[in-house]
Amino acid sequence: MDIARSSFYYQPKEPDTADVKADMDILDRIETICLDFHGYGYRRVTRQLHYDGFQVNHKRVLRLMRE
């Protein structure tokens, strides 16, 4: 066979529902921040989220803003 054993047995994982819900909560807040402050990029949005009590990484904010 010309296929790797790991590829043959690979089974994709379902996204964790807790992560999806957390992403939706953060995304709702990001949309609110972007409507209030039009010039904010991901760095300022991350700072505002930290100020609002969300513990979130700037890379996660950037990914959510790109979607």
b/e map 32-55, b = 16+ CB within 10 Å: ebbeeeeebebeebbebbeeeebe
- Token readout for 11 is 């089974």
Q: What is the pTM of this model?
A: 0.77
The predicted structure's pLDDT at residue 67:
86
- Provide CB contacts within 8 A for 60, sequence distance 6+: 23, 26
pLDDT digits (tens, 9 = 90+) for 16-63: 888 899 999 999 999 999 999 999 999 999 999 999 999 999 999 999
**Whole-angstrom Cα distance, residue 43 to residue 58?**
7
